Amino acid sequence: MRYSFKIGSAWGIPIELHFTFILLILAVFVLSLLNLPFYTVESSFYMFFIVVFLFVFVFFHELAHSVVARRYGIKVRKIVLYPIGGVSEIEEIPDNPAQEWRMAFAGPLTSLVLGFALLGVSSILTPNLLPLLLAFSAGTGNIIFDLAILNILLGVFNLIPAFPMDGGRVFRAVLAERMKYSDATRYAVTLGRILGFVMVIVGFIFNFLLILVGLFVYIGASEEGEQTIISTKLAGVRVKDVMHCEVGFVSPQQTLTEALEVMFKNRYHDALVEKDGVFLGMVTWAELMKVSNGDRDVLHVAQMPLKKIIVYEDESILEANKVILREKLNILPVVQKDNPDKVVGVLTSEAISNAYDKARNR
């Protein structure tokens, strides 16, 4: 995710903070320096604590998504925290719509439970909550009440049935139980765009902040919808459909200089090593670059560490792309399941990119 940085991890899941959180803290600090009549030093400290607790509550919100995802065996890459919510980047969207809506609903449910629990605590400490409830604002001066309202607003806002909000995912999952997944995504994206557009229009009339939220919803719905639909189209594309059948090999007896020549000739960044028709592994560009120019004429391929990673020709290119990204490779040797020692082609990252572009154009 761009414009975010890692701040820690939880249960092995990297946690990143989006720069907008820093902007929010800076805005609180700048307001405290302006000496505005309605914004005192006390109120600046108060708002600072509200922002800190907002960060904590967003973390719990996103962690709930991740816990449910891991319960279904889905890997969570990382969690990115925003002031108005967060994003749990998962390995793949569940095939079962019931699992998807449970994952999506877990975050808002956590926020609402926290909100009403804090509201209950606040009612015990402050029996007469009626004036505060009528105000329904996260800025009354009652810290527990304000944090309760903050969580309730966070939960309700994320239940808006618009991509990329959690409510949009729930809406898409409900539709997916009754129609094709791609069609359900299109309807959910369309609703997200409409609501985002309405928020922008209403924001021009009432509140500038609503314009920013509307733009976030509209752009997020468009981007995620496009990516989901592309992935759905590519799910049926096999490795054999886009692989290159002409393969250049090097033998273990060749020097590293000769291996580099084969790389340049075939326009690969990794060299496939074969002996007597049997695939032995790959010499990666990164390993070759560790060897000085003078030693490349002396050292042989057999003296280098080999990386033996393969992909079957009937696998999805989406699964193959995960391997390329995880192993930081530019090519993948393609083999048949009944003969994994014989390379029948190579899948390049460029070929996968071309397949993505074709799916996007369609």
Q: Catalytic positions, please? A: 62
Please state at what angle helix 349-361 crosses helix 208-234, rounded to 10 degrees: 110
The 8-class DSSP code of residue 75 comes to P
Residue 115 burial by CB count (10 A; 0-12/13-18/19+): exposed, middle or buried? buried
- Map residue 128 onto helix, strand or coil: coil
Cβ pair 352, 241 in contact under 8 A: no
Q: Which two tokens stand for residue 75?
A: 């890997």
**CA dist., res. 122 & res. 313, Å (int):** 61
329 CB contacts (<8 Å, ≥6 apart)? 270, 282, 284, 307, 309, 323, 349
- Cα 87 to chain centroid, rounded: 7
| Strand pairing category for 4-10 and 13-18 | antiparallel
Which tokens is 70 given?
């891991």
Q: For residue 215, what are its two tokens?
A: 């733009």
> What is the rounded CA–CA span in Å between residue 333 and residue 268?
12
Spatial separation of the C-alpha atoms in residues 243 and 311, rounded to whole Å: 11
Backbone angles phi, psi at 240, to 5 degrees: -65, -20
